[in-house]
Amino acid sequence: MADNRVVEGRMVTPKKLAELIEGESVMDAEPIEDADRTCPECDGSVLAVGYMPSVTAFVTGYKCQDCSWSERED
Ligand SMILES: [Zn+2]
């Protein structure tokens, strides 16, 4: 799948990336995008993914490709 990206050395799908950020399973996720920012921890590239943790919620999550840093925005 073209949407898959490498995060912390592992290939992840949008849904898997969202689950890494959320810390639990999510209902659905949009394609992964490059966020226009760098990681505050290691200056690495940051990915963004929009996802639905539940039926009524939509969150934008950010995850560093090189370290465990992540952030979510409701
Ligand atoms: Zn980082």
Ligand 1 center to residue 69 CA distance, Å?
A: 5
Q: Which long-range contacts (CB under 8 A, 24 or more apart) does 62-66 make?
A: 62/21, 62/35, 62/37, 63/7, 63/17, 63/20, 63/21, 64/7, 64/39, 65/5, 65/6, 65/7, 65/8, 66/8, 66/39, 66/42
Ligand 1 center to residue 8 CA distance, Å?
A: 9
| pLDDT computed for residue 3 by the predictor | 85
| 19, pLDDT greater than 60 | yes
Ligand 1 center to residue 35 CA distance, Å?
A: 13
Ligand 1 center to residue 45 CA distance, Å?
A: 7
**pLDDT band at residue 2 using 50, 70 and 90 as cut-offs:** low
Ligand 1 center to residue 66 CA distance, Å?
A: 5
pTM over 0.85: yes
